[in-house]
Amino acid sequence: MSRTKQEIRNYLDSLVGRRVVCLNNRALDGQCVTLVKSLLAFLGCPTAWQARGNATSVASNYVRDGIAKNGKGWLQVCVNHNYARGVGHVWIDLSGETNYESNGAKPLTVTKGTRGYDQAQQIVNLDQWVNFSEPAPASGLPAGVVPQQGTYHIKVNGLRVRSTPEIRADNVVASYDAGQQINRYQGFIDANGYRWVVYKGKSGNWRYIARRSLDGKQVFGYCD
């Protein structure tokens, strides 16, 4: 099995703010190595949950077992051997895009954009598990968007419409208040910690508006 780049982005984004469960050893829930194991399982590695040592040795053992290759790639596993007084730390880096770590910037929790690859002393890559041939968008939708039709009913004031599915100051194009609705939206996408309703605006450009956080703690409206 392999996954497209967008599928990998979406999966990692869905883990942000969560404690990742280690299926073969619950004592390791939320640890940095568990994030890598979880990603390997998502990629289809049959021995993803096998114990391969701590953060200082796990990347080398992935290479030993044929799961990873030495050197940089797009989907990178980064290691700092001196982190936490020699305990070590391992994290995921999407080359040129962003990074994800667990039990680093926030205890036992996945964070995004908090550990650059410049802090790595060792880098291996998982590119053999990546399908770099992105499929053509279904029904003309942007890559990664799941087709779905309906009406989005907004429950909060000042909910911002964005040109990309991420929270940034420079991608806001409009806003809606409680009681308003978006008719005939065309899909949704899970990205950057939120589920986004996707529709084409009057300008002809794709628009994204948050429906809820992926952890379920924030809900901005409902769809029917």
User: Residues with Cβ < 8 Å from 198, sequence gap 6 or more?
Assistant: 141, 142, 145, 165, 185, 186, 187, 188, 189, 206, 207, 208
**3-131 shares its CATH topology with 138-223:** no
Q: CATH assignment of 138-223?
A: 2.30.30.40
Q: How far is CA 96 from the centre of its chain?
A: 15
Global pTM?
0.63
Per-domain boundaries in the chain: 3-131, 138-223
Q: Does domain 3-131 have CATH number 2.30.29?
A: no
Query: pLDDT per residue over 59-112, tens digit each?
Result: 999 999 999 999 999 999 999 999 877 789 999 999 999 999 999 999 999 999
pLDDT tens-digit map of 124-147: 999 999 998 866 555 688 888 989
